[in-house]
Amino acid sequence: MNNNSSLSHRKEEPENGILYIVGTPIGNLNDISQRALNILKKVSLVACEDTRQTKKIMNKFNISNKLISFNKHNSSLKIPKILNDLKEGKSIAIVSDAGLPGICDPGEDIAKSAKSEGIGIICIPGACAAVTALVSSGFPSSSFVFEGFLPRKEIDRTKILLEISKNEKTTIIYESPKRLKKLLKELLKFCGGDREIIVTRELTKKFEEHVGNNINEVIEFFNIQEVIGEITIVLKGINKNIDLNVDKFSMKKDLKDLINAGLSLSAASKYLAKKNGVKKSEIYNLI
């Protein structure tokens, strides 16, 4: 029997011993699916990133069920207990504060652990801020890169920013309101002010907003506008007809940026050589 046939003959949900990864709204509670509501109502328990947030959904749709906390602070302690409950035949739903669990949250850890134990996993699709921002940006969306939250460590952060600056694909980034202005300045430095960008905030909510055309315009906007709400950034890729691999000036600047971030000349040269498809010696000799 092929996969399509087996899926079409599944038992009534929720099934015993199954981990359900349930997508919830990213803002507008009416975006939740009927299937998701059925799972939340009938599973043995619901593991929530924040029980207070999940209760808002439960209360709106008159659902009563057992809720437990499951977040980045306690996931390592909770995962063994959840796995044991699943092995005993309980059905468990994992939900994040908003969107699809597993995207920048501990849902990824529980899914990995469940799979390693041979436990069945079913995703109940739902809203995702990254995809919502992407399809409304007007930028190429058939192929894209999702970076999530950029690393805090400067060396790692510099490497990612360099990759973004040279990427031909659309890039999606998550950022907190308090760190948005810092990130925009970094994008200006690495990508230039004319790089096309859309900064979205409060997606699906009453005050949803899409800001920008290019990095210069977005920086100017947020210099006079308070940064609040959930932030998702969509950055258009570079023009593939522009061959930056032979732009020695650009590579020299990248080399200096990496060295300033703490990499040795040798390590920075090796990284850029691989990134640009040239010999390490060519990069090394730029300094």
Delimit the domains of the chain by residue range. 11-127, 130-235, 244-284
The closest of 115, 72, 66 to 97, measured between CA atoms, is 72
For residues 200-216, average pLDDT: 94
- Digit-coded pLDDT (tens) for 99-110: 999 888 888 999
241 pLDDT exceeds 80?
A: no
Q: What integer pLDDT is reported at residue 256 of this predicted model? A: 86
For residues 42-65, average pLDDT: 96
The closest of 266, 232, 5, 214 to 98, measured between CA atoms, is 232
- Digit-coded pLDDT (tens) for 220-231: 999 998 898 889
For residues 193-202, average pLDDT: 96
For residues 257-279, average pLDDT: 84
The closest of 33, 26, 34, 148 to 97, measured between CA atoms, is 26
Domain 130-235 in CATH 3.30.950.10: yes
Q: Return the SS3 of 108.
A: helix
Q: Token pair for residue 235?
A: 């950055």
8 pLDDT exceeds 80?
A: no
pLDDT confidence bin for 246, thresholds 50/70/90? very low
For residues 52-67, average pLDDT: 96
Same fold, 11-127 and 130-235: no
37 pLDDT exceeds 60?
A: yes
Average pLDDT of every residue of the chain: 90
- The verdict on pTM exceeding 0.95 is no
240 pLDDT exceeds 70?
A: no
For residues 261-272, average pLDDT: 86
- Digit-coded pLDDT (tens) for 114-125: 999 999 999 999
For residues 56-84, average pLDDT: 95
pLDDT confidence bin for 132, thresholds 50/70/90? very high
Q: What integer pLDDT is reported at residue 286 of this predicted model? A: 75
50 pLDDT exceeds 60?
A: yes
pLDDT confidence bin for 272, thresholds 50/70/90? confident
Percent of the chain with pLDDT over 90: 73
Percent of the chain with pLDDT over 70: 93
Task: Determine the Cα–Cα distance for residues 143 and 35; give it in Å rounded to an integer.
Answer: 29
Apex 257 CA angle, 252 and 261, nearest 5: 150
More confident residue, 271 or 217: 217
Task: Determine the Cα–Cα distance for residues 223 and 155; give it in Å rounded to an integer.
Answer: 27
Task: Determine the Cα–Cα distance for residues 127 and 272; give it in Å rounded to an integer.
Answer: 37
Apex 102 CA angle, 18 and 271, nearest 5: 140
249 pLDDT exceeds 80?
A: no
pLDDT confidence bin for 74, thresholds 50/70/90? very high
More confident residue, 103 or 2: 103
Q: What integer pLDDT is reported at residue 266 of this predicted model? A: 86
State the CATH architecture for 11-127.
3-Layer(aba) Sandwich (3.40)
